[in-house]
Amino acid sequence: MNRLWHLLRTTIGRKLLVASSGIVLILFVIGHMVGNLTIYFGQAALNSYAHWLQESPVLWLMRLVMLTIVLVHIALGIAVTLENYRARKIPYQAHNAFSKRLFQSRLIISGMVLLLFIVGHVMHLTLGAGVGAVFSLRDNQGYVDVYSRVVSAFQNPWIAWSYICAMLLLALHLKHTVRALFQTMGFYHDNYFSFFEFLSWIVTVLVVAGFITIPLAVQTGWLALPAEAVSTAGFSRLVGS
Binding site for ligand HEM (CB under 6 A): 29, 32, 36, 50, 53-54, 63, 114, 118, 121-122, 125-126, 146, 150, 163, 170, 211, 214-215
Of 80 and 153, nearer to ligand HEM (C-beta) is 153
* Sign of the C-alpha dihedral computed for residues 142, 145, 146 and 147 taken in this order: positive
Of 76 and 151, nearer to ligand HEM (C-beta) is 151
Is there a contact between 19 and 181 (Cβ–Cβ < 8 Å)?
A: yes
Residue 79 CB-density burial (10 A; 0-12 exposed, 13-18 middle, 19+ buried): middle
Of 28 and 92, nearer to ligand HEM (C-beta) is 28
Is there a contact between 184 and 15 (Cβ–Cβ < 8 Å)?
A: yes
Is there a contact between 178 and 115 (Cβ–Cβ < 8 Å)?
A: no
**Position 218: which residue type?**
V
CB of 167 vs ligand HEM, minimal distance in Å:
6
CB of 202 vs ligand HEM, minimal distance in Å:
17
CB of 157 vs ligand HEM, minimal distance in Å:
14
H or E element in which residue 2 lies = helix 2-9
Of 114 and 178, nearer to ligand HEM (C-beta) is 114
CB of 214 vs ligand HEM, minimal distance in Å:
4
